[in-house]
Structure 1
Amino acid sequence: MTSLRQGDIFAAGAQRLQMTESIELTIQSLQAYGADHAHWGLAWSGGKDSSATLTLIIWLIDTGRIKTPKTLTIFYADTRQELPPLAIAARQIMDELEERGIHVEVVTAPLDKRFMVYILGRGVPPPNNNTLRWCTRQIKIDPMTAALEQRLAELDGNVLMITGVRQGESAIRDKRIEMSCGKDGAECGQGWYQKVLPEAKGLKGRLATLAPLLHWRVCHVWEWLKHWAPQAEFGDWSTAMIADAYGGDEAEEINARTGCTGCPLASEDKALDTILLNPYWAYLAPLKRIKRLWRELREPHHRLRKAGIERLKDGSIAANPQRMGPILLESRLMGLEHILAIQTEINEAAIRLGRPTVDLINAEEEARIRELIALETWPDGWEGDEPTADTPLDKIYSDGAVQPLLFV
């Protein structure tokens, strides 16, 4: 086993020693399983764990600590909803990868299924945590699965897909991970290696997954992103911005997480609030208005409602016969103009201050949203002639019983 160099950054002390042990365990996992796969892929979201995984592995390859695979494909999941500092850092890291001759495949949902287009163009209400959580699957999981299937079709043999999944110290037993502790044939199912990717039906049997940072503590992730990776010795990566986006040194204490910009599923914009505490990013404050817009568009006066008994394709009666539905055409246009106004306000400040601009809705997406509104597009099962959801109606129950309005 090749030992790591121990310069000043590897000074004695418990924390430094633990960090080198974490890196050594990562090397062991890649040596144990990587050699069995000629082709590697790496799923990268731009977040802390996957960014640490990506930059560490490229550094290990560049310095000869692990063997270079025959092919390496980086898949960047561009949801078009990432917090600006993370999206900006991802673009910088992509440039650094290209300089190394490593191509990054940017994976984005089809135009009509992108978050903004789906809501403002097609009229589907913003996702919620109860009955309509469509966003993660549609803008991240499905596009990534399609990209993997396409890449597999171009290659012979199996592919090792490397992920940034991390369990921390719960994955460590006596300072090492049992090599046999994996999903297939293991009791706990929290090992480094899994033989198949069960979520992707078209990939089953040809795609193994490896989580080489599974055992890393969160403090090691922050340490790598903020202090180690930016140094020339460890790759000269633009990762410090990622750590800062999570709250910098304080993020380690709260085990911070980020989500999408103005995420409708979160009760508070904690990640964005953290970013805005940094004076450099204060000009992004108008992003706070996005969450309020999604809440507004859920209100009854912006939506349609089924007026009576709704029969499904099999002839049965829908469980919620008077459910609220899609967003009105004029409300979608209002939402579009609201988002564009936020974008314009931020970018005018960015240009004035010499800061990065944002891209909430690009020209292609805006054109498609306006086209779908002009075509009076409605989600499947809706015609557009249903009453608005704030219209008083007789109450209809799932068994067909009707309770007339007491007052009109």
Structure 2
Amino acid sequence: MANSYFNENTLEELIEEIKYVYKSDDRPWVIGYSGGKDSTTVVELVYKMLLELDPEDRHKNIYIVSSDTLIENPLIKIYLSKMNDLLGQAAYRDGLPIKSDMVTPPANNSFWANVIGRGFPTPRMNGTFRWCTDRLKINPSGEYIKKVIDYEGKEVIVLLGVRKAESIARKRRIEGRELANRLLNRHETIRDAYVYNPIVELTTDDVWDVLLRCDGGRTPWGSDNSELVALYADADSGECPFAGMQAGGQTQSCGNSRFGCWVCTVVKEDKSLNGFIKSGHRELIPLAEFRSWLMSIRDNEEFREKKRRNGTVYRDKQGNMGFGPFNWRARKLILQRLLETQQIMEYELITLDELKAIDEIWDQELDLSRRVLVELYEEITGEKLPWYDYKEPLIDSETVDELEALAQQNNVPEELIRNLLLSVYQNKNYSNQKILRDGIDRLLNQQWLHYEIIEEIENENQ
């Protein structure tokens, strides 16, 4: 700690810097708040800075935004929701220009809408198909910032709890973006936004010093940061306070992971989830079991299409037909297992809005009966979804059976028949018949239907 930034630059000086940046212009602030130690430190410093200002100097709004991916670890989600509520209440009590919000991905672009609805394979550990972060975290937060810009009618300053000490790679990225002699950097993707990193020079020990030694660990909005320490310790996350810091009268020991989505398949072992379970939160065991099962079926050909969603096909390095999305059977099975886990947990793992979105995707892409999802839900939960009684089959079951039999007799893929029927239904009301014809042409000309012929021609030309 002898050479730490925090000792050389006192807490008062850091708050003075934040105060200087706040008073220097009229651009509103947006703070990204995850509930973790770094973002909590930023929020706490900013809150204290506002309390020191005269009311007339609190001249611009501060928006605190948290991101709920809808697959957050339940313990973290409960904690984050609690902090958001306390922040809003305290800011109102203290007359501070703070607005605290939580953003979520749109129901039709959530993790489950993409996996269960569209069949997206779960993100890979090697990062080659990591589609989740943008959709679940970055885009919702970015849209929120853009709405603030539109509402305020001016540029905004985004405050982040990033630090150079977190990793060498992050330190280089931060230093690469810094502008000479300036505290603000241009936002990488949002044109009318700048970024201010107030704790960029702090070490991990400095952060815990701010959170636990100042005001006895109490936050200005009425919570106790020892609760945050307990979460890190239980999650075996390795970023607990420096030596001698205690929570609940006991010295904390930690491992080396971050809080994350409970179903994350990017890492082989979810150390955070497993850490909570080892710490006594046995109610989370069903989540760990579901996650392991979901990872086990990812690359099982029994559960995968042999074509991409757009109908194209490919061969892998070994010459085998490459995998596409989860097939119809797998999507139904994943939903079934998820609902069963939800029943065991007595905790919402998939929202009604997500179920509605998945049902609509299945209606458009898979389900001629239009009743698979609502009946599966009723079978597992014993309850009917609000739209249960409005679901009518596109084609009666007898006709579907007859069409499937005819397809088999004539060696026509059943999937093609289903897709043609769905396409005709979706385009039948257009007055321009070209739209209907184009939809049918696209289906009939998809690569998977003609791949053997294409390969034969390519082999002849070699």
Same fold (TM over 0.5): yes
Is 1:157 aligned to 2:154, yes or no? yes
- Deviation per CA, 1:229-251: give whole Å up to 9, x if none: 77457442254333322226964
Aligned residues: 347
Give the unaligned 5+ runs of structure 1: 1-12, 172-180, 348-357, 387-392, 403-408
Is 1:108 aligned to 2:108, yes or no? no
Any residues of structure 2 matched to 1:291-302 within 5 Å, and which? Answer: 291-298=291-298, 299-302=300-303
Contact 1:160 1:209 (8 Å CA) reproduced: yes
Secondary structure, counterpart of 2:158 in structure 1: strand
What displacement does 1:105 show?
A: 2.4
Change (3 A) 1:306 1:400: farther
What displacement does 1:275 show?
A: 1.3
| Code of the aligned partner of 2:85 | D
Change (3 A) 1:136 1:272: same
- Deviation per CA, 1:214-239: give whole Å up to 9, x if none: 12221233444456577457442254
Name 1:286's counterpart in structure 2.
Answer: 286
Name 1:236's counterpart in structure 2.
Answer: 222
Change (3 A) 1:105 1:215: same
Change (3 A) 1:169 1:45: closer
Alignment equivalent of 1:147, drawn from 144, 169, 194: 144
Contact 1:303 1:325 (8 Å CA) reproduced: yes
Is 1:376 aligned to 2:365, yes or no? yes
Change (3 A) 1:399 1:96: farther
- Deviation per CA, 1:156-198: give whole Å up to 9, x if none: 3321111111123999xxxxxxxxx883543xxxx98333112
Name 1:125's counterpart in structure 2.
Answer: 121
TM-score in terms of structure 1 length? 0.72
Any residues of structure 2 matched to 1:87-106 within 5 Å, and which? Answer: 87-100=77-90, 101=92, 102-106=98-102
Cα distance in structure 2, aligned partners of 1:86 and 1:56:
22
Cα distance in structure 2, aligned partners of 1:198 and 1:168:
21
Alignment equivalent of 1:183, drawn from 177, 192, 197: 177
Name 2:67's counterpart in structure 1.
Answer: 77
Aligned-pair identity (%): 24
Cα distance in structure 2, aligned partners of 1:399 and 1:36:
68
Is 1:136 aligned to 2:124, yes or no? no
Cα RMSD, aligned residues only: 3.9
Give the unaligned 5+ runs of structure 2: 93-97, 169-174, 241-253, 368-413, 420-450
Higher Rg of the two aligned structures: 2
Cα distance in structure 1, aligned partners of 2:211 and 2:75:
14
TM-score in terms of structure 2 length? 0.65
Change (3 A) 1:319 1:21: same
What displacement does 1:121 show?
A: 1.3
Contact 1:303 1:324 (8 Å CA) reproduced: yes
- Deviation per CA, 1:302-359: give whole Å up to 9, x if none: 110139xx769xxxx9998942111112211111121122222122xxxxxxxxxx33
Cα distance in structure 1, aligned partners of 2:167 and 2:289:
39
Change (3 A) 1:56 1:31: closer
* Structure with more helix by fraction: 2
Secondary structure, counterpart of 1:267 in structure 2: coil
Q: Which has the higher contact order (CA 8 A, sep 6+)?
A: 1
Is 1:27 aligned to 2:15, yes or no? yes
Cα distance in structure 2, aligned partners of 1:255 and 1:220:
18
- After TM superposition, which residue ranges in structure 1, 4 or more long, deviate above 6 angstroms? 13-17, 317-321, 396-399
